Structure formats: structure tokens, C-alpha cells
Amino acid sequence: MKLYYDETINPRKACAVARHLALPVELVHVRLARGEHKAPGFLALNPNGRLPVLQDGALTLWEANAIMCHLSLAAGAELWPRDPQAQVEVTRWLSWDAFHFTRHTGTLYFENLIKPLIGLGAADAAVVHEAEQQVRTSAAVLEQHLASRRFLLGDALSVADFAVSAALPYAEGARLPLQGLPAIARWHARLNELPGWREPFGPPAG
């Protein structure tokens, strides 16, 4: 399997799952800052011109959430659970994440961290303000949910945890408004205990 990535928020999800599951995945570095994701060869893999992309035999798969689920199936793991009701629960959190959480933590990540890094100028204050409001609202929901659970599904780690937590490693630089939320902080600490989640871009074991 080949996983095309750069060290940014969406590829991070797929790389973390691959490493956590110790899958024999070859990481292929595509440098966003050099525009390598817009080269014809890469666009043939993903016409969206975005990372990550997974190649597994004849299958070429884009979208980080789908890639995480595929990796779990490939490993025979339970991060994408076998139980249908648990699948519904994971789907709920993946949808919530895409529309309400990482959508906005991702905006703060881009505005506060990436833009200055790649010379696109200062963060847009109005965009930052709106995203902060959205993150605060959604983080309150997440905080309440995690107050009585180890992971999003309860005791079982799932791809939903890898998705919803994608921006947490960048919380400081992205200036995510997540202070004073102890359940989220405990969950973050728990994820940090997983070497694959903590260091997703190292070579996967196995």
C-alpha cells in the first residue's frame, strides 16, 4: 500500500491510523508548498488535488475518513467496528466532525498556522472570529459527550477519535479555543499515549 501525504491535518488522520495498526504502508511525501498536489501525475490519482490518497492494489482511494476505514478493514481491526450499530455511531461522529468540528478547527489551523508559514499573509480576523465561535459551540457538545467516556464510542477506540482529534496536536499554533474543557484534555492525553497518534509521520512499524 502507498499513502500519499504531507505533514498536515487531513493526511495526519490516515498516517496515524496506518501507524497505529502497524500496517506495511509506504509513505509517499507530496509537498503541498511546492504545488506537487497539482501536478498531472498526482491529479490522475486524486482529481481533487488534495491529500491524503491511498493506493492499495487496484484501489485508489481519497478522503481521509474513507482511507482510515479501509486501513482498519485491511488490518482486520475494529477501528471501523464490525457491529452495525457501532458503525452508525462512528458515521455520526465522522459527519459531525466534517460539518461542525474539524471544519472549523481546520479553518483556525489554516488561518493561524499555515497562512503565515507559507507566506500567505496574516489571518483573516473575521474568518477567525466566526470559526472560533463555531469551535466553542461544538467543543461544548464534545466536552459533555466525553465527560463520561474514554473515547467517542465509549471504551472502544475508533476512526472517529482519529478524525475528531485531527487538529488537537496543532491546538497551540492554531489557537484553538479549547481551554477549560477537562474531558477533552483527558481524551487528548489518552490519545497522546498511542505512539501512532502521537508521531504519525514516522515509518510505520511492520
Ligand X SMILES: N[C@@H](CCC(=O)N[C@@H](CS)C(=O)NCC(=O)O)C(=O)O
Cα angle 95-46-17, degrees, rounded to a multiple of 5: 50
- The distance of closest approach from Cβ of residue 67 to ligand X in the complex, given in angstroms and rounded to an integer, is 7
Q: Residues binding ligand X: what is the number (CB under 6 A)? A: 11
Query: Per-residue x/- mask for ligand X, residues 79 to 98, rule CB under 6 A?
Result: --------------------
DSSP string, 152-172: TTBSS--HHHHHHTTTGGGHH
Among 63, 89, 97, 111, binds ligand X (CB under 6 A): 63
Angle between helices 64-75 and 9-20 (to 10 degrees): 0
For residues 27 and 155, give the distance between their C-alpha atoms in angstroms, rounded to a whole number. Answer: 30
CB of 145 to ligand X, least distance (A): 22
d(C-alpha 48, C-alpha 101), whole Å: 22
Residue 64 or 178: the one with the smaller Cβ distance to ligand X is 64
Residue window 107-136: x/- pattern of binding to ligand X, with contact defined by CB under 6 A? ------------------------------
Applying CB under 6 A, among 27, 64, 94, 168 the residue interacting with ligand X is 64
* Among 50, 152, 144, 136, residue whose Cα is nearest residue 95: 152
Which residue in 8, 55, 60, 91 binds ligand X (CB under 6 A)? 8
Q: How far is the CB of 200 from ligand X (least distance, A)?
A: 13
User: Chain centroid to CA 102: how far?
Assistant: 8
Binding site for ligand X (CB under 6 A): 8-10, 32, 37, 49-52, 63-64
